[in-house]
Amino acid sequence: MKSIAEINAIRDKMQSQIKLRDNSKTEETHIVIGMGTCGIKAGAVAVFNAFVDEVALKQIAGVKVMRSGCMGKCDLEPMVEVTVPGKEKVTYINVDEKKAKEIIEKHILNGKAIDAYLMK
Amino acid sequence: MKELAFHILDLVSNSLDAGAEHVKISLILEKNTYILTVSDDGKGMDPETLRMALEPGFSTKGTEGQGLSLVKELAEKTGGSFSVRSKAGEGTEITALFKKDSPFMIPAGKLGDALAPLLPEKAEIVISVKSEKGSTEISTAELMKDGSPDEVMAARKLINKNTDIFGGSVL
């Protein structure tokens, strides 16, 4: 039987390992665009390409732009989830190409989510 | 109105969602007929799922279920035809023929732009285009290494340019 101190030490060690793993998972910023039929109909492909172009042209490192399936709220498409390492995921709604550029500029480059475009 | 390139996106999305690692898109312009084939090595469909998949509104993914049925409807409206061959565990092949001079024929659109959202994924997509003007074949395996935005943007432009042999757009 291990002592409480030993168990606590094991717990602390494991927690730090888990934290390390979690950090490694979220080192990249993820921009995920809902690309179900409803999203595509609402213009999600142009939004995807606007994000890709902005990230590539501005040479922003550590950002991945990806698609997902339907995000479940068809009338709010195109929907975009942004996950910045160490911060909570936020979801933008009714995104268009202009808003995509603004999200890159204000949120990705300057760290400030744009409240007006977020899902409430 | 949805461009043809976006219908192709729907079909290739279905393939990737069915776990395909390889998808081949073949586009041929022969006289007055466009022949589109999309084949994959995904999980395929059993006969009952296949029958249902051609009905508007059927989906195994919780989506609108308008992908396959709309391509079928479009092909038949133009006076062309549509067929699916699929076997559970072996993949799916969809062939659609569209008549070029039909009033129901739609603009082709840019294939690179439409397929861009699928490029960061691991599956290899081979695009083969052929007409009297020439032919070309592009594999995304040669274009994509890490799925970064730089790669996606470059691949998208290259696909747009190289599938432009039918004049102004992919077809």
pLDDT digits (tens, 9 = 90+) for B34-75: 999 999 999 999 888 888 877 776 676 666 656 788 899 999
Which chain A residue's Cα is nearest to B62?
A70
B169 in a domain, yes or no? Answer: no
- Comparison of pLDDT for B50 and B116, the residue scoring more: B116
Q: pLDDT value at position B91?
A: 95
Say which residue the tokens 């395929």 belong to: B44
In this predicted complex, what is the ipTM?
0.86
Query: Any residues with CB less than 8 A from the CB of A43 and at least 6 apart, and which?
Result: A78, A96
Residue B144 lies in domain:
4-162
Angle at B93 between CA B89 and CA B99, to 5 degrees: 165
B168 in a domain, yes or no? Answer: no
Q: How far apart are alpha carbons B171 and B76 in whole angstroms?
A: 18
B24 in a domain, yes or no? Answer: yes
CB B42 within 8 A of CB B18: yes
CATH classification at residue B53: 3.30.565.10
Minimum distance, in Å, between the CA of residue B147 and any CA atom of chain A: 8
CB A66 within 8 A of CB A31: yes
Q: What is the pTM of this model?
A: 0.83
A90 token code pair:
């936020």
B131 token code pair:
């007409």
For chain B, the 3-state helix, strand and coil shares in percent, each to the nearest 5, are 35, 25, 40
> Total structural domains in chain B?
1
Q: What is the mean pLDDT of each run of 10 residues along chain A (120 residues)?
A: 71 54 64 90 95 96 91 88 94 97 96 93
Q: How far apart are alpha carbons B95 and B158 in whole angstroms?
A: 25
Contacts of B113 in chain A (CB under 8 A): 45-46, 49
A78: cis peptide before it, omega within 30°?
yes
B26 in a domain, yes or no? Answer: yes
B171 in a domain, yes or no? Answer: no
Query: Any residues with CB less than 8 A from the CB of B64 and at least 6 apart, and which?
Result: A36, A37, A38, A70, A74, B57
pLDDT digits (tens, 9 = 90+) for B118-169: 999 999 999 999 988 889 999 999 999 989 999 999 999 999 998 876 654 5
Q: How far apart are alpha carbons A28 and B21 in whole angstroms?
A: 25
B117 to chain A, any CB pair closer than 8 A? The answer is yes
- By CB atoms closer than 10 A (0-12, 13-18, 19+), residue B68 is buried
B22 in a domain, yes or no? Answer: yes
Residue A66 to residues A9, A49, A114, Cα–Cα distance (Å): 40, 10, 20
Which chain A residue's Cα is nearest to B11?
A37
Q: pLDDT value at position A1?
A: 59
CB B20 within 8 A of CB B41: yes
Which chain A residue's Cα is nearest to B148?
A64
Contacts of A100 in chain B (CB under 8 A): none
Of A36, A55, A67, the CB nearest to B63: A36
Contacts of B116 in chain A (CB under 8 A): 45, 48-49, 52
